[in-house]
Structure 1
Amino acid sequence: MFDESFVRAARLQEYSAEERMADHAPAVRRRPPLHRGLTRQALILVLLIAVAFGTAIYMGVRHPYGSPETRRPVEPLRMTVIPLAPTGKVPGTADAEYLYAHSPAAQYEVGAEGIPLPASRSTAHFSDSEVVTALTTAKDYIVRSSLYPEVLTGRQVRPARSLLDADQLDQFDQSFDRPAGDGRHAPTGWLVRLDPSRAQLADDRIRVQGDLQASESDSGTLEVTADHTFVYALRPTGAAANAPVSLFTVRRELTFRFTRDDLRTHQVQLLASYVQAGPLACAEDSTSYFRPLLAGQTAHTGGPAGTDPYETDSPTALCGTLAAGAEPKV
């Protein structure tokens, strides 16, 4: 006897008696062939597609940005710090809000609100999210190095230092261990730092205005330029709460560089720092700290430190004049 599977697999099938009674009905009919599964060729094709897809995913995880790029050496920070000396007495009053309202900073935002992020767009080699990361990290450095009270008063440098690319840490540390006005190692080129023995914040609502811009410098590097003006209300250290207050203004133009590694670790390379600050006295050293002239004070006579044209490594000592229009009207 044949089992049921053998019968079902037969290519010919006999008609039933009722079907054979019809005129000209053949005795048997042909069954359509049974398809027991995919053919061998189809299985091989599916397997090849799966292998190719898996390989593509693996390579994408191992090398998400294509072939590895040679890391560009990190450049040392180049800095210029220019004191701005007033032409007369520094204006002041006991009310910081009054000073702000009668100064060019009247419409400035307070704190980090004055450092808005621009509308970001992807570049040829960087996604929108990567551009946002660069802008956000640059803003974070600016906030920490210009607005943190512990940084402003010289008590700490870590908030700013922790955001620097590891290859710039030696230069940063040397700047604070052995400050020098050589265009490379001035603490005031890295951050805003007030002499704590001379001045203290009279109002922690620091006024800020400026902008950030991001651009692609090459296929592996983003650059962010920042230009911000910070206005601080100060009074003499240890003075009474009703002591006269004056305004101290710092303009910082910074250039940041970001490699893909920097974006991943949320760190910055600070390439250039151009700083103008006043009211300051040209004759005083602004390398380690800013030593602001306070309400009622005038700039000491004398110019900046001398420049030796015979010393090739000697930077030019610079000093400017603080425009009368930059001071509050009291």
Structure 2
Amino acid sequence: MAGRGNPPEGTPDDASGGDDEYRDDYRSVVFDESFIKAARLQEFSARERMEDEEHAAVRNRAFTPPGDATDEEQNGTYVRGSITASRQGIVLVLLIVLAFGTAIYMGIRNPYQAPPEPPAEPMRNALLPLAPRDEVPGATPADLFQHSPAAQFRAGADGVTLPPVRRTRHFSESQVLSSLTAAKEYIVTSSLDPSVLSGNSVRDVRIMLDPVQHEQFDQSMDHPRNDGRHSATGWMVRFDPSKTALADAGIRVNGTMTVQEAGPDALEVVADHVFVYAVRATDEGEGQKAAKNSSLFTVRREVRFQVDREDLRRQQLSVLQVSMRAGPLPCSADMSGALAPLLAGEKAKDDGAAGTDPYARGRTSASLCGLLSTSSQPSPAAKKDD
């Protein structure tokens, strides 16, 4: 039988060295003590297997903590594995902390900024004065209305009617109704309210506007100018109280309102109305004589509104564009601050052909002017009935 130090088949015949030489040849396949101690599996002894036939052939070796191990074991696989695992854990934690710190630093230096909201579109307005061919007819307000195209118009806010209300793709029926109601309220206040018409009040109009338009509105009130964006008469109809007064509170109105989507988040409302005012000279006072010297002043006013979801919540709106044709008016007068109609018995001066230099730089001060049709004026029968 082979010895402990010899291979199972005995010492080879051609082995020229002794046991030491043989051990050197097989040293690479011999399990040394440190290898055995590092093994995680241990085979049960023959007695253990005989006592329990169902017992497994091997078992896991219990891990010996480094503190209880021998000096040799502390230098062995367990100690080295624990140190290696600890180092890897520390490195992993450091990497996580470094990544987290870098993310915070980059967030502070370069914080994410949401794209800025587009600036509010400013209100744009255009006023075309209409000059009469002849003398402005004068009579009592009732006679003037009766003999004019406004005879069948409704009086006051009753003439500002809402269209049938239907839901749209992105807005409910109630939201569409709210936008139309807000637009009607603006039209009534800015075109029919006596305090607004006389120039005594602007607050009631201002509070209905989206706050982003307040600055433009205030500039138009404080320093009106004929630049297409800062006319007070673009935001409201108002007369120069030193020259013109209402002769009758029953303003005649006729027109239409339409609504459609301007996108998934906004509605566009267009109000197109004709307003007919009975006016008189302020210095004539009141009474029957003053009433007989009344005249009609007609304004065709088209206002385009935008109402977004925030406006619906606050019951406000934005005025995008206002187009007005009004007469009888003189062509050369500046109407950006207040309207100064030609009154009964007055005629338009021949100032409609004011020269315009196309070579001049900048905005021209000359106004475009239209001719007020005779058919739009009260008929001469109004005077004959006096």
Residue 300, structure 1, aligned to residue 346, structure 2? no
- Any idea what the Cα deviations from partners look like across 1:138-162, whole Å, max 9, x if unmatched? 0000001000001000011111111
TM-score (norm 2): 0.65
- How far is 1:73 from its partner? 3.2
Name the residue aligned to 2:377.
327
Q: 2 CA distance for matches of 1:164 and 1:289?
A: 20
Deviations 1:27-74 (CA, angstroms, capped at 9, x unpaired): xxxxxxxxxxxxxxxxxxxxxxxxxxxxxxxxxxxxxxxxx9985532
Structure 2: tracts of 5 or more residues without a match:
1-113, 381-386
Q: Size of the alignment, in residue pairs?
A: 262
2:217 corresponds, among 172, 183, 187, to: 172
Partner of 2:279: 234
Is the 1:69–1:220 Cα contact (8 Å) retained in structure 2?
Answer: no
CA RMSD of aligned residues (A): 1.8
* Structure 2 residue 290 is matched with structure 1 residue 245: no
> Using a 3 Å threshold, how does the CA distance of structure 1 residues 307 and 235 change in structure 2: closer, same or farther?
same
Q: Secondary structure at the match of 2:283?
A: coil
State the identity as a percent. Answer: 49
CA distance in 2 between partners of 1:255 and 1:305 (Å): 31
Structure with the largest fraction of strand: 1
1:106 paired with 2:151, answer yes
Q: Counterpart of 1:238 in 2: which secondary structure?
A: helix
Residues 328 and 342 of structure 2 are in contact (CA less than 8 Å); yes or no, is this contact kept in structure 1? yes
In the alignment, structure 1 segments of 5+ residues that lack a partner are: 1-67
Describe the SS at the equivalent of 1:235.
strand
Alignment partners' CA distance in 2, 1:69 and 1:104: 52
Shift of 1:211: 0.8
Summarize the alignment of residues 53-132 of structure 1 with structure 2, pairs less than 5 Å apart.
72-93=118-139, 95-132=140-177
What is the match of residue 144 of structure 1?
Answer: 189
After TM superposition, the structure 1 = structure 2 runs for residues 210-289 of structure 1, keeping only pairs within 5 Å, are 210-239=255-284, 240-242=286-288, 243=290, 244-289=293-338
Residue 62 of structure 2: aligned partner: none
Please tell me the residue identity of whatever aligns with 2:244. Answer: A
Decide whether aligned partners of structure 1 residues 260 and 164 sit closer, same or farther in structure 2, where only a CA change above 3 A counts. same
For the pair 1:192 / 2:242, whether they are aligned, the reply is no
Contact kept, 8 Å, 2:243 with 2:282, in 1: the verdict is yes
How far did residue 176 of structure 1 move? Answer: 1.3
Whether 2:252 is the aligned partner of 1:207: answer yes
Once the two structures are TM-superposed, the CA of residue 238 in structure 1 deviates from its matched residue by: 3.4
Give the CA deviation at 1:235.
1.1
Q: Distance in 2 between matches of 1:70 and 1:132?
A: 30
In 1, Cα distance between equivalents of 2:331 and 2:261: 38
More helix by share: 2
- Describe the shift of the 1:282–1:315 C-alpha distance in structure 2 as closer, same or farther (beyond 3 A): closer
